[in-house]
Structure 1
Amino acid sequence: MTFCGLLPLLLLFSISSTPKTTANLEGDALFSLRRALKDPGNVLQSWDPTLVNPCTWFHVTCDQHNRVTRLDLGNAKLTGRLVPELGRLDHLQYLELYRNNLVGPIPKQLGELKSLVSLDLYHNNLTGPIPPSLSRLTNLRFLRLNGNKLSGKIPRKLTKLRNLKSL
């Protein structure tokens, strides 16, 4: 096969492989969370890191391009820590981890979730300050952190979030 004949095949391969790469990166980020959690109710049993696409996992919602847009793990009896890798979920709009037993700090990397509309971490045992990096979440409408053991002041920068309806 000549180079001219090979070029269309290379282009087709590179275009078709892009969503899989994104899905793998997102799957890796989600599986990092899975490893940091204890799951007595087995709600994460479908989270298999060998699958190409995390969109087949329970409690994960994706858009038409197989990008993770929602993580619904509220009231799932999970214990453990949030992981900084969650900040890699570029298209995440809803992060629902309320009413669990999550401990430790809120990772500053959650401030990288530019598409986030709702961050629900209420009624856990999270500690430490509210990361000022959350002020970069310009699409955020709902930030629910109540019922935790957070310390320090609410970052003044959060007042600049024009879309925020509930804090």
Structure 2
Amino acid sequence: MLRTLSPTEQHGGALGFIMREQREVASAMPVSPGETPRKEYLNTYESFKEELKLAFEPPQNEFRSRAEFLDLQQSKHDVHAYAQRARYLVSNVVTDPMDEATKVVTFMKGLRDGPQKSKGSNVRCFRCGNMDHFARECMAPVHSSQGRRGDTGYRHGRTKNAKDQ
């Protein structure tokens, strides 16, 4: 069974392939002293850069990024992660960029409906009695005259009858 190569392995393999190919071309066309090498066999920065671009950014990558952006959904991710993914995919589309209206409509279409879920909205603190946090996270000061609320939620040190007196 074949495994998928990581991007680093893909880039390393592509770079090795390009360098080996350039060495083979250079060794196949020896240049005698006094003779200028042919232009197509020169290892110029521009040709090297173009070959690297072809190896690292295959032409289908832009098409895939555009298609993935147009189908992008927030799903279980938070808005920040969703926005980062959308920005990354849009940045891959360079030859025929999308207009702002398409970007906005696609982004808004992919957002989840409904209010943002808050963590622990139905949790009551046994220390101060307020909602939305646990006693271990409670920042309320403890007054020794009032006592603390225990794990059962009842005031210790006072009885029901002592309150009435």
Task: Please give the TM-score of this superposition, normalised by the length of structure 2.
Answer: 0.28
Higher helix proportion, which one?
2
Larger Rg: 2
Higher RCO (Cα < 8 Å, 6 or more apart): 1
Task: Please give the TM-score of this superposition, normalised by the length of structure 1.
Answer: 0.27
Higher strand proportion, which one?
1
